[in-house]
Structure 1
Amino acid sequence: MIFADSEEQTHDRDLDITGETCPMTFVRTRLALDRMAPGQVLRLALKGDEPRRNVPRTATEQGHAVLSATEAEGGILVLRIRKKS
């Protein structure tokens, strides 16, 4: 389990794309954001050099805000992205 149950909920939706490769990493991220209301927060787990570079950059380019990036076990990066208003 990537997301611990004890974590304070500071997000509206979780998405685990640790098993995906580019370009599917951002395709899945974008689909999740498209299904969310403006201002909601997506908590996203990803893994690998390419997704670490591309997902936050592309989200920002599309007007979304990367609120945090936290390292987790096993080389996983957990991002919190606020959907643009």
Structure 2
Amino acid sequence: MSSTTASTTSGIPEAKLDLRGTPCPINFVRTKLRLEQMTPGSLLEVWLDPGEPIEQVPDSLVMEGYKIEEIADCTGFFALKVRRPADLA
């Protein structure tokens, strides 16, 4: 078993993914693939466009078992923080 570090439980993302300009559902697919590559418990920050991307991607991630920790309304885009659960296969 690998040991966990303090960063896996903090609010600081281990990775960032800029998906501004990426249409649905490709932005969801890219987010999910990136989360699957990350260590369980890791936090990913995803930048999404307003409208359909920020409306659809968080809901789709929750349905897949991921935990949304924060959605920040930035100027012209949204920053979504999503955590990969430790028990997700």
Q: Same fold (TM over 0.5)?
A: yes
> Number of residues paired by the alignment?
76
Amino acid at match of 2:82: I
Structure 2 residue corresponding to 1:72, chosen from 60, 71, 74: 74
Amino acid at match of 1:77: F
**Superposed CA RMSD:** 1.1
Structure 2, unpaired ranges of 5+: 1-10
Larger radius of gyration: 2
> 1:53: how far off?
1.2
TM-score with structure 2 setting the length: 0.81
Question: Which residue of the partner structure matches residue 85 of structure 2?
Answer: 84
Structure 1, unpaired ranges of 5+: 1-8
Q: Secondary structure at the match of 1:78?
A: strand
Distance 2:72 2:25 in 1: 22
> 1:54: how far off?
1.1
Q: How does 1:4-23 map to 2 (within 5 A)?
A: 10-23=12-25
Map Cα deviations across residues 25-71 of structure 1 (whole Å, 9 max, x no partner): 10110111011011000001000311111110011111110000001
Identity of aligned residues (%): 32
